[in-house]
Structure 1
């Protein structure tokens, strides 16, 4: 669902609102594609790539770590983007990630040598790449959000 328009661009949306179903990981690329379309004229080089990556991480976390769906809201103003992913699980809080997560899902090869894991780095990426981010408790559920300062939309 699209909501709002950008000043001077009657058809250009400024807000993406998307509900994703429980464990529907096919929603991750769909949300990423919708965000890419919305951000075509926003930010500098690479800004939409970072936004897509961080959004994918937050949506994936919400779908993997909860038994409920989530709501994704992305709002663009000329100088920034804010993405929020809200889940509906009571009593959960997300602590800030540690400064370094070397082997989040690492295992061993049987010889005691650890292999690097490929998951468990979502919030570390958000912390490293977002201009700001946080978690807000909403009683029933929480919102994990990030902001990027990407500059003005291109003419």
Structure 2
């Protein structure tokens, strides 16, 4: 059963449900930070009945970090994809800048910059960066059960 599916080639929103797999796909506009809460809401809807308490909140937090990084540090469009299946949740944010992100030690004087990937690294079950012909994807995975 498909829900809200639009052509992936147009870059429009695509949400689908097939058997035991749920998918979310959103194109994020260049430097449009309104996309961050919109991405969180869409993911929250996707994960409404997923995982133990607290897992979807972690997923929302980590997704907002990846989306924010892509929009702030690349000054280009990005694409958010989330897939939920029996194996858990896989979220990736693809951008079109080849420079790889690096986790940084946060500034102890209270500067909040540099904490996003540290959060992803510490809270995700797995995460990484995959290069593409143009740009990269930064991804994370979470199981439905708390670790």
TM-score range, shorter chain: 0.7 to 0.9
Greater share of residues in helix: 2
Paired position in structure 1 for 2:125: 131
Paired position in structure 1 for 2:84: 76
Alpha-carbon distance between aligned partners in 2 of 1:140 and 1:7, rounded to the nearest angstrom: 32
Query: What TM-score, normalized to structure 1?
Result: 0.80
Query: What TM-score, normalized to structure 2?
Result: 0.84
Gaps of 5+ in 1: 107-114
Gaps of 5+ in 2: 1-12
Alpha-carbon distance between aligned partners in 2 of 1:24 and 1:139, rounded to the nearest angstrom: 24
Q: Which structure's CA Rg is the greater one?
A: 1
Instruction: Assess if the C-alpha contact under 8 Å between 1:42 and 1:78 holds in 2.
Output: no
Alpha-carbon distance between aligned partners in 2 of 1:62 and 1:7, rounded to the nearest angstrom: 31
- Aligned Cα RMSD in Å? 1.6
Superposed CA offset, 1:23-78 (max 9, x none): 10001000100000010011111010000000000000000001211000000002
The structure, 1 or 2, with the larger RCO (C-alpha pairs under 8 Å, 6+ apart) is 1
Runs of 4+ aligned residues of structure 1 deviating over 6 Å after TM superposition are none
Paired position in structure 2 for 1:112: none
Number of paired residues? 133
SS of the aligned residue for 1:56 comes to: helix
